[in-house]
Amino acid sequence: MKPLLILILSCIPLAGLTVLSFVELASIDGQAGYATDGDRPPQAAPVADARAQVEAEKPLAKELADADLFGPEPIAALDGAPATSSLKAVANTWPQWIRARALVSGVLEAEQMATAKELDQLKDAARQFVLLQEKYVASPPRGSQQLLTILDRRHAELKTRIAHRELELEANAVLAQARSTFGSRKYDECAKLCDRLLARYTEAIDVSVLARVRVLRERAQFWSDAERMTAELARPDVPEGRKQALQKFLDKYPGRDERTESEIRFLEKCKADIQQTDQQIAATQRSEAGMRQVKELENNLPAGFSARLQQAEQILRQSPEPIVKTVLRTKAIDWLKECLPEKSLKEPVMLREGQTRQHGLVRGFFKEVRTPAGELVGFKRYPTLDQMLDPVAEVGTYRKEEWAELPGVSVPRRCATQYNEARRRLLDQPARKEAWDELAALCEKLQGELRGYRDKPGASDENLSFAAESQFAREAAEPAVWDSLQKVLAP
């Protein structure tokens, strides 16, 4: 490169040397006999001047050959060139060469910086372009106007790139925030951020990234709607409203191929919920129909317990819903209570009776008589409870030895108590066969005891009987009745 520049800078001396060579060749030709009198060579004085000029330029050319032509400082040898030197023109234009070279170097440096991807480096390149414009726009190097025009255009292009890069970085930040909110289950906020990306940053986002943003927005909307629907279903509502909400969600999100596994699982759950809701609706309809039949049964209640059971069983076959079964079981227990009434007595609860050795049964209100040592001597009998609690007259004492059976709970009350306890056990577990057998056997036993009791003098005249209850218990154990009883009264 340097020899070429020296060649360019030394073009005038080289031309002189070339002319000199032609002159010398012509002189040689003349001496060889080729010249004629009409073609005599010119005088030798101009040739001598050219040779002298070339000889004078040799030191300066040598300095130029040794100088750094791309250095930032002027070449001192050119500053000392004589006014008659063929290189004087180069010395005069050399500062322009240095400024032009500095401009080109600055542009190349700015262009190198402009190839970066980092925003800070691009901004540095833009500042470099501005500095070059400020430095050379007032006094541009000769012939650099086109370069300065290109510099303006490149600066404008770089500002556009910077704006695009800033928009791109802003879009990346919004996208990262959208992904973060999705991970935090803030689905509404994520959808809004995705909408912002699609509305403002489409030019700054790659097409493939835009596609992922649209998918993210769709997923955020899916789970936002899912949460909203779940909250709606948590409120008390009729099954028809629940089914409508579920179906509306499924209609909005029918696809499966583009769904994630978690979304597919949720959609499958919605479908299962609809099936369950359909079953619930059907069950409700059956329950309502069954309750209407129960109401009709109450309004036209058969007299017999077995007939009631048969109709209750028929209702259950048509409407086997829990609420219908519960209502019918409650009704059947009420019927049982009606057919097995609790036994109550007219005699006071505190009344006692005993059997003496001579006078049969003695009934009344008794107070024990004991010695100071606490030994039982006998009993005083009062006709009423008030007289026993507040005696107004002295009564005799039945000595202990006179009693065949000491005063205690009367036979009718004991029988009634045993029956009532067995009845309570049966009503607690009416579908237990043993309870019915125990009640039937107990009623038969108590009825026999009452017959023997009434044959004794002084027995109570209570109208107490267990014959009907015994017969009812035996009839309930018959297969036809028992089968209906099991179906209606089983828990």
pLDDT tens profile 422-472: 999 999 999 999 999 999 999 999 999 999 999 999 999 999 999 999 999
- 75-89, 107-121, 132-146, 421-435 — most confident range: 421-435
Summary mean pLDDT of the chain: 80
- The whole-number average pLDDT for the span 318-334 is 94
Tokens of 403: 């009693």
- Name the band, by pLDDT with cuts 50, 70 and 90, for residue 4: very low
> Is 343 within the bounds of a domain?
no
How many CA atoms, within 13 angstroms, populate the side-chain half-sphere of residue 196?
16
Tokens of 441: 């056997």
The dihedral through the CA atoms of 258, 264, 268, 269 has a sign that is negative
- Nearest CA to 398 out of 417, 422, 377, 384 is that of 377
Give the residue carrying structure tokens 């032509």. Answer: 69
- Angle of helix 261-299 versus helix 207-234 axis, rounded to 10: 20
Between CA 227 and CA 221 the distance in angstroms is 10
- The whole-number average pLDDT for the span 38-43 is 51
Same domain, 371 and 479: yes
What pLDDT, on the 0 to 100 scale, is given for residue 160?
73
- Name the band, by pLDDT with cuts 50, 70 and 90, for residue 150: confident
Same domain, 78 and 181: no
- The whole-number average pLDDT for the span 124-133 is 73
> Is 324 within the bounds of a domain?
no
Same domain, 66 and 186: no
Between CA 290 and CA 320 the distance in angstroms is 8
- The whole-number average pLDDT for the span 133-148 is 65
Min mean pLDDT across 56-65, 72-81, 416-425 is at 72-81
Distances from the Cα of 89 to the Cα of 95, 102, 396, 402, angstroms:
11, 20, 169, 169
Query: What count of other Cβ atoms lies within 10 Å of the Cβ of residue 121?
Result: 13
207 φ/ψ angles, rounded to the nearest 5 degrees: -60, -40
pLDDT above 70 for 91: no
> Is 110 within the bounds of a domain?
no
* Distance of alpha carbon 257 from the chain centroid: 21
Choose the final residue of a domain: 38, 59, 86.
86
Same domain, 472 and 363: yes
Kindly give, in sequence order, each residue whose CB lies less than 8 Å from that of residue 482, ignoring residues fewer than 6 positions away.
433, 476
Same domain, 365 and 483: yes
- The whole-number average pLDDT for the span 316-338 is 94
Select the more confidently predicted residue: 25 or 174: 174
pLDDT above 90 for 330: yes
Q: How many domains does the chain have?
A: 3
Query: What count of other Cβ atoms lies within 10 Å of the Cβ of residue 324?
Result: 23
> Is 202 within the bounds of a domain?
yes
Please check whether residue 2 is in contact with residue 65, taking contact to mean a CB–CB distance below 8 angstroms: yes
Q: What percent of the chain has pLDDT over 90?
A: 49
Between CA 406 and CA 200 the distance in angstroms is 106
Between CA 294 and CA 297 the distance in angstroms is 5
- Give residue-wise pLDDT tens across range 385-400: 999 999 888 898 999 9
- Name the band, by pLDDT with cuts 50, 70 and 90, for residue 198: confident
Please check whether residue 393 is in contact with residue 358, taking contact to mean a CB–CB distance below 8 angstroms: no
Using left for φ > 0, alpha for ψ between -120 and 50, and beta otherwise, residue 158 falls in alpha
What pLDDT, on the 0 to 100 scale, is given for residue 23?
37
- The whole-number average pLDDT for the span 11-35 is 37
pLDDT above 70 for 79: no
Angle at 37 (CA atoms; ends 33, 39), nearest 5 degrees = 85
- 2-16, 191-205, 477-491 — most confident range: 477-491
Same domain, 81 and 178: no
Biggest CA-to-CA distance, the chain:
207
- The whole-number average pLDDT for the span 135-151 is 65
> Is 345 within the bounds of a domain?
no
Select the more confidently predicted residue: 60 or 280: 280
Tokens of 151: 């510099």
What pLDDT, on the 0 to 100 scale, is given for residue 306?
92
What pLDDT, on the 0 to 100 scale, is given for residue 153?
76
What pLDDT, on the 0 to 100 scale, is given for residue 13?
41
Edge-to-edge order in the sheet of strand 360-370: 397-399, 376-382, 360-370, 352-356, 403-409
Min mean pLDDT across 16-25, 180-189, 413-422, 455-464 is at 16-25
> Is 239 within the bounds of a domain?
no
Amino acid letter for position 440: A
* Distance of alpha carbon 147 from the chain centroid: 61
What pLDDT, on the 0 to 100 scale, is given for residue 233?
85
Choose the final residue of a domain: 86, 106, 124.
86
What pLDDT, on the 0 to 100 scale, is given for residue 257?
72
- The whole-number average pLDDT for the span 179-187 is 92
- Nearest CA to 414 out of 386, 385, 384, 445 is that of 445
- Name the band, by pLDDT with cuts 50, 70 and 90, for residue 199: confident
- The whole-number average pLDDT for the span 59-64 is 66
Strands 397-399 and 360-370: unpaired
Between CA 229 and CA 251 the distance in angstroms is 13
- The whole-number average pLDDT for the span 135-157 is 67
Min mean pLDDT across 174-183, 342-351, 361-370 is at 174-183
> Is 120 within the bounds of a domain?
no
Same domain, 356 and 478: yes
Between CA 288 and CA 61 the distance in angstroms is 120
Q: Range of 213's domain? A: 169-234
Choose the final residue of a domain: 86, 112, 133.
86
What pLDDT, on the 0 to 100 scale, is given for residue 8?
39
What pLDDT, on the 0 to 100 scale, is given for residue 490?
87
Q: Which residues of 131-153 are buried (b: 16+ CB within 10 A; e: fewer)?
A: ebeeebeeeebeebeebbeebee
> Is 140 within the bounds of a domain?
no
- The whole-number average pLDDT for the span 157-164 is 72
Same domain, 68 and 177: no
* Distance of alpha carbon 200 from the chain centroid: 28
Please check whether residue 476 is in contact with residue 432, taking contact to mean a CB–CB distance below 8 angstroms: no
pLDDT above 60 for 47: no
Same domain, 359 and 478: yes
- Angle of helix 322-339 versus helix 261-299 axis, rounded to 10: 30
Same domain, 358 and 484: yes
pLDDT above 90 for 329: yes
Please check whether residue 189 is in contact with residue 160, taking contact to mean a CB–CB distance below 8 angstroms: no
Tell me the residue length of the chain.
491
Select the more confidently predicted residue: 144 or 484: 484
Amino acid letter for position 76: A
